[in-house]
Structure 1
Amino acid sequence: MNEFTIKSFEQYLTTVRDELGIVEQNGQRVRRYFRGQTKRADAGYDLKPSIGRYAHLNDLSLAERDRLENEVLETFSNHLISYVNHLPRNDWEALAIAQHHGLPTRFMDWTTNPLVALYFACRDSKKDKNGNPCDSAVYVLISDPPRFSELRRQQKNGHYSAEEAEPDEPYSNDDDGYDGFGLDENDEPAVVSDDDLDTATDSGPRTPTEPALEGGLSPFDISSNVIYDPPHVSPRIRAQDGVLLACHQPMQPLEEKDVLEIVISHTAHDDIRRRLDQYGVFDKQLFPDLDGIAKWLKYRVFEINGVT
């Protein structure tokens, strides 16, 4: 994994500009995706989706894990009607809503905005088991996964191959996403009882190969990672410029060749937080609700001097 070490806000901006630059493929600009983590991958927080952090799932066969994911999604989807105005049109939308609300899924949260990723990398500084401050990191997806919208167009034309798919038009105005790419490493695994799964549906759970409500292609059937731009479910989505990476091997971390690591020195966290606040990339802007206002006031009043 290529690595850069950042010790200031300006150095981060320069690195993103000069080292990543403008990349073109087939005459089109390639959009980069960023992910901020308060813990580095080599410190034990691998680049994998949330469902991949439940080690006991490795004891299941691939078919058993697929069945479990489908059953959990079916249970979640059956409860949606009581809480949303518009039901999801397919498994992609349903799984994105589940991800947004904290259910472990095969989706990973990324953003097209490098400053938003920097916010999530530095907002809450961590310490190791010995009480020493930890460096954080921003990861850059330097591979070019196909996008769901492109695969869907191919499927409608009678052809689908994730490996051969050309990337969708970069820098589309339709690039929306969910807000969950900030990490909460303290989350405990949720427990789903067999009774809960048994009530998923009177007709039984879908098989992994059954088409979704529309669109045909299921997130459980992909043969490579896919970028998905989900629809809006809250004002946080556009504010955070988020996208989802659907992982076809959710129990495995991303390959090192696909990712560049920008290490953010812990010594720079306080200054970066202040600079991001000046640039309007902070709690109140990224979380346009009461939670964001409370977090913003907490920082401005109680944490501005680096005391947490």
Structure 2
Amino acid sequence: MPAVDHPGVETVVPGSWAELQDLLFSEPWPQRAGRYHSNVVHRGLPCAGYGLRTSVQRLGRLERETDLLRNFRKYSRVPFRHQENDWEWLTLAQHHGLPTRILDWTYSPLVALHFATAEVERHDEDGAVWSADFVAVHRRLPPGVREALERSGGTAFTVELLGEVAPTLARFDALDEEPFMVFFEPPSLDERIVNQYASFSVVSSPAQRPDEWLARAEPPLVRKLVVPAALKRQVRERLDQANVTERVLFPGLDGLSRWLTRYYSSPPRR
């Protein structure tokens, strides 16, 4: 039976690699335009005890969110076509490690598994893959925001569409009294975003934890799949065999160095 260790979140623990795959790919198959498009995004974490907190929440300085973004814009030398659109700057800042309210996800269950198993020193701990139904999340948007998405013909926002809805974070937060969540696809800033099949989420309040928001919905819109420590090494071998590695997900010398470091840090197969 599934156990729950985050309030309101279904937690499932597979017993084998085959069961793990079945659970990751077990969502219904919605058909649009004759092709399969998943309604689910995933986030892999090396420790099953971690929840879904944004980097600015982990920093513990929510009151500095505006200052962080303002100074990033001031000192950055990267020009944008839409200088007044907070979303392009926020995406760039998140991509380069600035604490923000954005949370990284991926459309690929295997990419999420990579991030749950990439840290060799944590292979004795359970990891986790969190999965959220972003289409169901968008059904709970304030009417004006939902209608803008429906008019676009897409299921996820873009930075351009978010800029039309609310060009600044302050205006975004003021769109509704209750916090709401949006998923958007970042622009292809580099190959890393493309290869990681990235999706971003943002809540209309920097203080609102994404896991708590998702778990409060009826029915809950999130599931946590535990990657048991006993399976981590096998999962890691399968991912390496499928070429889901740092060399692909972080193109360039940084990714190559990460891959080689992990490869030569891994213990021999028992």
TMscore range, shorter length: 0.7 to 0.9
Q: Give 1:62's aligned residue.
A: none
Distance 1:117 1:304 in 2: 22
Question: Which residues in structure 2 correspond to 1:90-105 (within 5 Å)?
Answer: 90-105=85-100
Q: Give 1:70's aligned residue.
A: 66
Does the CA contact (< 8 Å) of 2:129 and 2:224 recur in 1? yes
Question: Which residues in structure 2 correspond to 1:286-301 (within 5 Å)?
Answer: 286-301=249-264
**1:216 to 1:169, Cα distance in 2 relative to 1, 3 A:** closer
Q: Give 1:261's aligned residue.
A: 224
Distance 1:296 1:175 in 2: 31
Kindly report the root-mean-square deviation, in angstroms, between the aligned alpha carbons of the 2 structures: 3.4
Matched, 1:115 2:107: no
Does the CA contact (< 8 Å) of 1:51 and 1:104 recur in 2? yes
Query: How far apart are residue 70 of structure 1 and its match?
Result: 2.5
Q: Give 2:45's aligned residue.
A: 37
State the TM-score, normalizing by the size of structure 1. Answer: 0.67
Distance 2:197 2:251 in 1: 13
**1:168 to 1:4, Cα distance in 2 relative to 1, 3 A:** farther
Amino acid in the other structure paired with 2:164: G
Query: How far apart are residue 164 of structure 1 and its match?
Result: 8.9
Q: Give 1:193's aligned residue.
A: none
Q: Give 1:281's aligned residue.
A: 244
Q: Give 2:13's aligned residue.
A: 5
Query: How far apart are residue 161 of structure 1 and its match?
Result: 3.2
Distance 2:73 2:24 in 1: 39
Query: How far apart are residue 53 of structure 1 and its match?
Result: 1.9
Q: Which SS does the other structure have where 1:215 is aligned?
A: helix
Question: Which residues in structure 2 correspond to 1:1-308 (within 5 Å)?
Answer: 1-18=9-26, 20-23=27-30, 31-40=39-48, 43=49, 45-55=50-60, 57=62, 65=63, 68-80=64-76, 82=77, 84=78, 86=80, 89=83, 90-125=85-120, 133-143=124-134, 144-146=136-138, 160-162=144-146, 166=150, 169-170=154-155, 215=164, 217=166, 218-220=168-170, 221-222=172-173, 223=176, 224-253=180-209, 254-255=211-212, 256=215, 257-303=220-266, 305=268
Query: How far apart are residue 13 of structure 1 and its match?
Result: 1.5
Q: Which SS does the other structure have where 2:129 is aligned?
A: strand
Distance 2:40 2:107 in 1: 6
Amino acid in the other structure paired with 2:204: H
Q: Deviations over 1:141-166 (max 9, x none)?
A: 0352339xxx9xx9xxxx82349954
Aligned residues, how many? Answer: 240
Does the CA contact (< 8 Å) of 1:48 and 1:251 recur in 2? no
Query: How far apart are residue 247 of structure 1 and its match?
Result: 1.5
**1:126 to 1:46, Cα distance in 2 relative to 1, 3 A:** farther
Max radius of gyration: which structure? 1
Instruction: Identify the structure with the greater helix proportion.
Output: 2
Q: Deviations over 1:102-139 (max 9, x none)?
A: 11111000000110000001111565xxxx93201000
**1:94 to 1:4, Cα distance in 2 relative to 1, 3 A:** same
Query: How far apart are residue 271 of structure 1 and its match?
Result: 1.0
Q: Deviations over 1:44-72 (max 9, x none)?
A: x3212111123454xxxxxxx3xx42232
Distance 1:306 1:73 in 2: 46
Query: How far apart are residue 295 of structure 1 and its match?
Result: 1.6
Distance 1:175 1:8 in 2: 37
Does the CA contact (< 8 Å) of 2:39 and 2:133 recur in 1? no
**1:160 to 1:306, Cα distance in 2 relative to 1, 3 A:** farther
Q: Which SS does the other structure have where 1:298 is aligned?
A: helix
Query: How far apart are residue 275 of structure 1 and its match?
Result: 0.6
**1:126 to 1:141, Cα distance in 2 relative to 1, 3 A:** farther
Distance 2:224 2:10 in 1: 6
Amino acid in the other structure paired with 2:184: Y
Q: Which SS does the other structure have where 1:244 is aligned?
A: strand
